[in-house]
């Protein structure tokens, strides 16, 4: 998830008009400029992920100050558009032959433009942290003991984390209120459920985020026994809402928490089990039902256990761990 004030998702509606999510942008780079990317000037390809069909680009917008990061992602196929009478299977889409050998034909397929959308995310103005986040980089696994968390990780994240104002804007209904799928107003066990910006709206790639109302829970490390009502409420009501609205039951959902998270306000991810969402690997994703079970077993479980996480070499925390001569001991 990312700030609506800093990230605008560019989608095409049925009338082929670009829609921009609410957000405060540079006065020169306003909503009308997002009908295309003609003012974007490419400086560098940060990362080209061929497996996920995502490319991250660094550049700037002509006539506007500051760097920009543009992320382009091929969207998933929607089963609603894959019908025998759809535009995939008529003269509006065409094939360009690469070769044909016996029963095997290889072609480039060009669907009509409405079926060939690329999801675009724009971060502007982008900080060096954003540029680093979307750049290709070497990865390392850190086995974080409670002492390592207290001595190095916690001080670093307090000092160097991303601004959370965009989260508070959602909780306070000053931004993105039209995107809220469900809200529980209880100050202790309540949360807001809304689509993650990575979701293109198709059930096949369903991705929602639950932001808790409480502002004093940074991550998995803070969870204790008195947070069980919050966790159980998010699990129960999140599943009920998704089942009612999108037709997926609990056994079809992957419900998890990231450690380390991309931002330090406690939140829970809900994705369709068939969707290989970013960040679902074992070294980062912790299943919510298992988190609840661990805390029921030991109330201070997440203050006592060693938790592995993945870190990038260009992350400031990596440098702090290197300086403390921690990495070569892990």
pLDDT in the model for residue 7: 38
* % of the chain with per-residue pLDDT over 70: 87
Is the pLDDT at 221 greater than 90, yes or no? yes
| pLDDT classification of 57: cutoffs 50, 70, 90 | very high
The residue-averaged pLDDT of 219-228 equals 97
Residues of the chain with pLDDT > 90, as a percent, come to: 49
- Nearest Cα residue to 141 out of 294, 281, 291, 301: 281
24 is in an annotated binding site: no
Question: What's the CATH code, domain 137-329?
Answer: 3.30.428.10
Residue 258 is predicted with a pLDDT of 97
Regarding predicted confidence, which is higher, 279 or 294? 294
Mean pLDDT of 123-146: 87
pLDDT above 70: residue 147: yes
Model's pTM, two decimal places?
0.67
Mean pLDDT of 85-89: 84
Residue 75: band (very low, low, confident or very high) from pLDDT cuts 50, 70, 90: confident
Order the strands of the 67-74 sheet from edge to edge: 18-20, 7-12, 118-123, 67-74, 54-61, 40-49
**pLDDT (0 to 100) of residue 229:** 98
Positive or negative, the Cα torsion across 271, 274, 278, 279?
A: positive
pLDDT at 24: 38
Q: Does 314 score more than 80 pLDDT?
A: no
Q: How far apart are CA 265 and CA 21, in angstroms?
A: 22
Which segment, 23-27, 41-45, 204-208, 267-271, is predicted with the most confidence on average?
Answer: 267-271
Task: Calculate mean pLDDT across residues 153-179.
Answer: 88
Q: Is 199 annotated as a binding residue?
A: no
Does 241 appear as a known binding residue? no
What are the extents of the domains in the chain? 7-75+117-123, 80-110, 137-329
Q: Is the pLDDT of residue 19 over 70?
A: no
Q: How far apart are CA 214 and CA 199, in angstroms?
A: 25
For the cut 60, the answer to whether the pLDDT of residue 235 exceeds it is yes
The secondary structure of 219-274 as a DSSP string is: SGGG--GGGHHHHHHHHHHHHHHHHHHH---GGGEEEEEESS-SSSS-EEEEEETT
Question: Active site includes 108?
Answer: no
Is 80 exceeded by the pLDDT of residue 39?
A: yes
CB 242 within 8 A of CB 208: yes
Determine the average pLDDT of the residues in 279-296: 96
Query: What does the alpha-carbon distance between residue 4 and residue 174 come to, in Å, rounded to a whole number?
Result: 11
- Mean pLDDT (the chain, rounded): 84
User: 19: alpha, beta or left, given left = phi > 0 and alpha = psi -120 to 50?
Assistant: beta
Does 16 score more than 50 pLDDT? no
pLDDT at 5: 35
Q: Sort residue 91 into left (φ over 0), alpha (ψ -120 to 50) or beta.
A: alpha
Judge whether 262 is annotated as a binding position: yes
Q: According to the annotation, is 313 in a ligand binding site?
A: no
Structure tokens at 264: 């330090």
Q: Report the greatest alpha carbon distance in the chain.
A: 67
Which has more pLDDT, 210 or 96?
210
pLDDT of 242 over the 90 cut: yes
Catalytic choice (124, 130, 227, 267): 267
Supply the pLDDT for residue 93: 87
Q: Is 63 left (phi over 0), alpha (psi -120 to 50) or beta?
A: left
287-295 mean pLDDT: 98
Q: Look at 115-124, 158-167, 171-180, 266-275 and tell me which has the smallest mean pLDDT.
A: 158-167
* Region of poorest pLDDT, from 74-83, 224-233, 248-257: 74-83
Most confidently predicted of 107-111, 132-136, 217-221: 217-221
- Beta-bridged to residue 58, according to DSSP, are 44, 69
20 is in an annotated binding site: no
pLDDT at 70 exceeding the cut of 90: yes
> Which of the residue ranges 9-18, 212-221, 287-296 would you say has the lowest mean pLDDT?
9-18
């Amino acid at each position: 998830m990312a700030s609506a004030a800093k990230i605008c998702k560019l989608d095409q509606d049925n009338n082929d008009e670009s829609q921009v999510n609410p957000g405060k942008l540079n006065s020169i780079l306003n909503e009308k400029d997002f009908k295309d990317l003609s003012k974007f000037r490419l400086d560098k390809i940060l990362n080209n992920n061929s497996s996920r069909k995502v490319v991250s680009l660094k550049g700037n917008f002509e006539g506007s100050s500051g760097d920009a990061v543009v992320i382009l992602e091929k969207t998933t196929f929607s089963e609603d558009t894959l019908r025998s009478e759809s535009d995939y299977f008529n003269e509006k889409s065409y094939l360009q032959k690469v070769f044909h050998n016996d029963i095997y034909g290889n072609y480039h397929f060009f669907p009509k433009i409405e079926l060939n959308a690329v999801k675009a995310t724009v971060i502007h103005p982008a900080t060096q942290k954003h540029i680093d986040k979307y750049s290709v980089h070497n990865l390392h696994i850190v086995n974080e003991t409670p002492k390592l968390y207290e001595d190095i990780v916690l001080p670093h994240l307090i000092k160097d984390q991303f601004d959370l104002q965009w989260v508070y804007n959602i909780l306070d209904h000053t931004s993105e209120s039209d995107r809220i799928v469900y809200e529980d107003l209880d100050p202790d066990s309540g949360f807001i459920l809304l689509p993650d910006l990575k979701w293109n709206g198709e059930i096949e790639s369903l991705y929602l985020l639950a932001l808790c109302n409480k502002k004093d829970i940074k991550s998995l490390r803070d969870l204790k026994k008195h947070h069980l009502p919050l966790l159980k409420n998010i699990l129960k009501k999140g599943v009920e809402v998704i089942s009612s609205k999108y037709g997926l039951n609990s056994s079809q959902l992957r419900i998890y928490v990231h450690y380390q998270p991309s931002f330090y306000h406690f939140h829970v991810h809900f994705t369709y089990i068939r969707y290989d969402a970013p960040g679902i690997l074992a070294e980062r994703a912790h299943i919510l039902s298992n988190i609840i079970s661990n805390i029921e077993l030991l109330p201070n479980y997440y203050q006592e256990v060693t938790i592995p996480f993945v870190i990038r070499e260009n992350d400031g925390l990596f440098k702090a761990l290197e300086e403390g001569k921690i990495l070569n001991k892990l």
